Structure 1
Amino acid sequence: MSQQAAFDPKTATPFLTSRGHPGWLGMRYSDHGDDWVELELPWREDLLGEEGQHVLASGPILSLMDMASGLAIWKAMDRFEAIATLDLRVDYVRPARDGAAVFGRSQCYRITRSAAFVRGLAHDSDADDPVAHIQAVFMKIGGDPKRELPGG
């Protein structure tokens, strides 16, 4: 039986964000830990929300947090497995600063045999002054549903 390599967000992110919607948005790897991942969404004029404002729209920030959450789940499980977003709540606290990139950090804090639970925040350089907070639940699609993960 072959041993599957550990999931490395730094290696996986360029592949996962090079195509489709994340690729068009230009998401990039920023940092990660055992159960969290942080991505960067660079500021771009075509991603602005309101006329006359130079802040990123809420939609791209939602996409950033969704992708960071998926990566955090795979990091916490230490493997890639099909997942689907069931519920993703975003509470916007303030607009991002004019011309600033937004960073999305998500932490997977609980995994059961069929779901993964995530929390996180978006910030524009200072995590103590967030742009938004998120709470999410993802459904696990792949793997053996009878196999319980530790702590689940």
Structure 2
Amino acid sequence: MSDTFLDQIMPQLASGAAHTHALGFVYEGYEGDRVRIRVPWREDLVGDPDTGVLSGGLVTTALDHVGGLAIWLALGTFRPIATLDLRVDYMRASVRGLDLVTEARCYRLTRTVGFVRAWAFEERIDDPIAAAQSVYMITDEAARAPNLEARS
């Protein structure tokens, strides 16, 4: 795995897209086979103004995105992927004012599919807001290239 991929490209994949930038995703890095992103708490990300609980859509989006990062970490490179299945189990409400942290690991990787487990929490992974299990399709770059000879 190249240092360029881990140190320059992974942070871009974590927060370089328009929606991840708008949501404030921050790449926290990786350790072994686990990768983390943080979403700093903001009032506009709250789903319930009375309690300050973060939007469930934000939690789901962060879990899905960190799952994709876990696939790329396991592959050691960027390849196009798509979420095939995502199950999120919510365990408790988030706490007003605390950042959302998500962590994921790819626990099984085949040629075309990656399987991920992920957690959303504030300060301790053993006190999760939510846990996710997801499956991602891994696309072969060569299969996506247009067949220019067939058009001649």
Please, what TM-score do these two structures have when normalized by structure 1?
Answer: 0.85
Identity of aligned residues (%): 39
Match status 1:87 vs 2:85: yes
Match status 1:5 vs 2:2: yes
The answer for the alignment partner of 1:141 in structure 2 is 139
2:130 aligned to 129, 132, 135, which one? 132
Deviations 1:2-35 (A, max 9, x none): xx83531x53344231332111100001131232
How far apart in 1 are the matches of 2:10 and 2:41? 19
Deviations 1:67-104 (A, max 9, x none): 11111111111111000000111101001111111100
How far apart in 2 are the matches of 1:29 and 1:77? 18
Alignment of structure 1 residues 4-83 onto 2, 5 Å: 5=2, 7-8=5-6, 10-16=7-13, 17-83=15-81
Higher helix share: 2
The answer for the alignment partner of 1:150 in structure 2 is none
- Alignment root-mean-square deviation, CA: 1.7
DSSP-derived class of the 1:21 partner: helix
Aligned-pair CA distance for 1:122: 0.5
Query: Number of paired residues?
Result: 141
- 1:49–1:55 contact (8 Å) kept in structure 2: yes
The answer for the alignment partner of 1:149 in structure 2 is none
- 1:107–1:120 contact (8 Å) kept in structure 2: yes
Q: Which runs of 5+ in 1 are unaligned?
A: 146-152
Q: Which runs of 5+ in 2 are unaligned?
A: 144-152
Aligned-pair CA distance for 1:64: 0.8
Letter in 2 for 1:74: W
DSSP-derived class of the 1:138 partner: strand
